[in-house]
Amino acid sequence: MTPVVLWTDALIFALLAVASAFGWYSRHNPLLRSAWQKVGGSRAGMAALTLLAVFAVVGLLDSLHYRPRLESAGGDGERAVYSGEVLSALDALATGLRSRGEKTYSAPLATHLFARETVERADGTQFRAHPRLRHGGVHLDDPPAQHAADLARRFAAGALSGAAIWMVLAGVVALRLARRESVGLGVTWRRIWRGDTAVAWNAVLATFAALLLVAGPVIFLADAYHVLGTDKVGQDVLYLALKSVRTALVIGTLTTLVMLPFAVALGIMAGYFGGRVDDVIQYLYTTINSIPGVLLIAAAVLMMQVFIDTHAQWFATAAERADARLLALCFILGLTSWTGLCRLLRGEALKLRELDYVQAAQAFGVSQWRIMARHLLPNLMHIVLIAVVMDFSALVLAEAVLSYVGIGVDPNTFSFGTMINAARLELAREPVVWWSLVAAFVFMFVLVLAANLFADAVRDAFDPRIAARVTGADSGVKG
């Protein structure tokens, strides 16, 4: 195989490097370290962070791309020929889900097709029936008699495997804490489940328990069945949902990178300088807000698609074309979504510039840019962090809406929006094909809910006003 690095892959790993550098900086900064320790002590925040970490692992695996080598009939000296299809590490791990396609719709955990077809008997007569699937439950000789027992056996084996893995994970966590604090293992267990540790390990372990009790049976069942059914062309819906995670993460993170420089710089400048600078920046974001967002995004996406179509020679594979449109969508969403954060930062900067420490810095002749960087920006970071996480949720939902109306990602790109768009006509069938829509909804719901809960934990830890209220309440109780 030969590695393939798409533009979004490079930006994702660049973002990962920036996040690692920020983590290192936060560890050596007392104020940031204290705030993140508050996040670590939040049960809801750590449970949400655990879920987000699982989604991030899926997205990173789907960002390691390669082109497989084709089998050659020639000798060893023949030049290697690689497939035009770009796969990822997630595709390699989920080969069974990707390759076991069916003819058309099949319900979750089914052994037969969802729709009836005309089947011919050996004597030439015909009848209407649900044909057997090519892969789902093919190991069963008598599906009506064996199906329920086989599902129960696989579910139990998966649940036991998940429980065993969780016990090992929980034991490792408890052992490390016991060694670090030089106490007995039993004492450490009691402290973990009472929540007496600095990090809310009880929430982390409880979340992992729920995930493993779901993932274990799913893995065991997916080996022989389509756990979430198949779509119109016979693709496994679980595979489509897992592949859609990367698109949601790319839209939510890379768009934020595009948005932040505009929002932070212009918002602080408008609030601090005031006057004509404030008027110009207000006029700019007011004008952008006056244009219907969907129309502006649709026009930009269509122009980008025309550019891609007229320069098809720039892209060696279909994956590169789809990635170019995904990257363009990130930039377009970023350039149209910075106005809300900019307005918030402007209002907060208007208040901060009147405070005594800013006035004192001005009296001592400190440069205006240094005042904005050293005195205003640190006191606005809680707003930036909260807005970034909250905007992540909004951008994930925006991608689903845009792809649903046909102006989002490329049709060949896996995303929750394309899944919902494909399921639109399925809801008009009788009986209803519901599993594609439900799968996309559940994955999006868990991802967005985890992001919102983590945003609440970050807000509570970084917002100085909330911290001051909590400190005052604690002092009042002690008094």
Same domain, 205 and 257: no
Please name which of 120, 122, 117, 94 lies closest in space to residue 105, comparing C-alpha atoms.
117
Same domain, 265 and 204: no
- Cα 98 to Cα 92, 243, 245, 290: the distances in Å are 9, 10, 16, 45
Same domain, 211 and 315: no
Please check whether residue 200 lies inside any domain of the structure: yes
Please check whether residue 197 lies inside any domain of the structure: yes
Please check whether residue 425 lies inside any domain of the structure: yes
Please check whether residue 389 lies inside any domain of the structure: yes
pLDDT of residue 474: 47
Domain boundary among the residues 193, 222, 251 is at 222
Domain boundary among the residues 187, 222, 257 is at 222
Compute and round to an integer the Cα radius of gyration of the chain.
27
Same domain, 247 and 353: yes
pLDDT of residue 53: 94
Same domain, 350 and 298: yes
Task: Centre a 10 Å sphere on the Cβ of residue 287 and count the other Cβ atoms it contains.
Answer: 10
Please name which of 55, 54, 25, 23 lies closest in space to residue 39, comparing C-alpha atoms.
23
Please check whether residue 85 lies inside any domain of the structure: no
Same domain, 197 and 286: no
Contact 406, 385 (CB under 8 A): no
HSE value, Cβ hemisphere, 13 Å, CA-based, for 266: 20
For 218-223, which contacts have Cβ atoms below 8 Å and span 24 or more sequence positions? 218/158, 219/158, 219/161, 220/154, 220/155, 220/157, 220/158, 220/161, 221/109, 221/151, 221/154, 221/155, 221/158, 222/96, 222/97, 223/96, 223/154
Same domain, 444 and 370: yes
pLDDT of residue 377: 85
- CA end-to-end span of the chain, whole Å? 69
pTM of this structure: 0.86
Domain boundary among the residues 222, 250, 270 is at 222
HSE value, Cβ hemisphere, 13 Å, CA-based, for 153: 7
- Burial annotation 415-426 (CB, 10 A radius, 16+ → b, else e): bbbbbbbbbeeb
Please check whether residue 229 lies inside any domain of the structure: no
DSSP letter (8 states) at residue 418:
H
pLDDT of residue 478: 44
Question: What average pLDDT does the chain have?
Answer: 85
Same domain, 351 and 310: yes
The reply to whether omega before 144 is within 30° of 0 (cis) is: no
pLDDT of residue 76: 56
Same domain, 107 and 179: yes
Domain that holds residue 335: 237-473
Can you state the angle between helices 318-336 and 237-273, rounded to 10 degrees? 30
For the chain, what is the domain count?
Answer: 2
CATH number of residue 417's parent domain: 1.10.3720.10
Classify residue 121 as exposed, middle or buried by CB count within 10 Å of its CB (0-12, 13-18, 19+): exposed
| Weakly modelled stretches of the chain, pLDDT under 50 | 73, 470-479
pLDDT of residue 18: 85
Same domain, 195 and 259: no
Same domain, 147 and 241: no
Residue 1, classed as helix, strand or coil, is coil
Q: Angle CA(239)–CA(423)–CA(247) in degrees, nearest 5?
A: 45
**What does the chain come to in residues?**
479
Q: To 10 degrees, the CA torsion angle through 334, 339, 343, 348?
A: 10
Same domain, 111 and 215: yes
Please check whether residue 453 lies inside any domain of the structure: yes
pLDDT of residue 466: 56
Please check whether residue 409 lies inside any domain of the structure: yes
